[in-house]
Amino acid sequence: MSLEVGQPAPDFELPDQHGQRVPLASFRGSTPVLLVFYPFVFSRVCTGELRTLRDTWADPVSDGVQLLAISCDPMFSLRAFADADGLQFPLLSDFWPHGAVSSAYGIFDSDRGCPTRSSFLIDRTGVVRWLAHNASRDARDIADYPRVLGDL
C-alpha cells in the first residue's frame, strides 16, 4: 500500500551513481525533495522521462527542490546510464537490500523486481505533500511538476 499525502516519508540512505551515500534526512529542515521512482535504466519510457528531467531541471536543485531519481538497478548501471545521457542529478540505487526503499514507499512490484513509476514530493519537514502513480508503460507528465512545486 502506497504512502498517502500528509504521511511522513520513510527515511533512507542510498548510493548514487558515483557510490556516494545520499541520506534523505540530509534535506530535512532545508530543502523539499522530489522523489522520482522509475522501473529500469535504459528502457524506452524511463530514458525518455529522465532525459526530459535533464532538459527541464537545469541543475540538481531547481526552484529550491532537490530531485532524486530511484530505481532498483545497481550503482554501476546507474553510472553508465547517467554518463550515456548526461544526467547530473542523483540516480539512487535501491538494489540491496533489493527494493527496500521502494517497499517502504509501498510501490515495489515484486513480480517485476522494480518500483512502479511513482513520484513523491516531500516538504522540508519530511512530510509527503503530493504523489502520483503511473502505469509502467505510461510516461508521467513532467509538465505537472512546475504546478505542484509552485503549490509547495
Q: Where are the domains of the chain?
A: 36-151
Which residue out of 36, 41, 46, 53 is catalytically annotated?
46
Q: Residue holding cell 540505487?
A: 93
Q: Is residue 72 annotated as a catalytic residue, yes or no?
A: no
Is a pLDDT exceeding 50 seen at residue 32?
yes
Q: Where are the beta strands (DSSP E) in the chain?
A: 13-15, 21-23, 33-37, 61-62, 65-71, 91-93, 108-109, 114-115, 117-122, 128-134
CATH topology for the 36-151 domain? Glutaredoxin (3.40.30)
What pLDDT digit, counting tens, does each position of 79-121 carry? 999 999 999 999 999 999 999 999 999 999 999 999 999 999 9
Q: Using an 8 Å Cβ cutoff, are 120 and 131 in contact?
A: yes
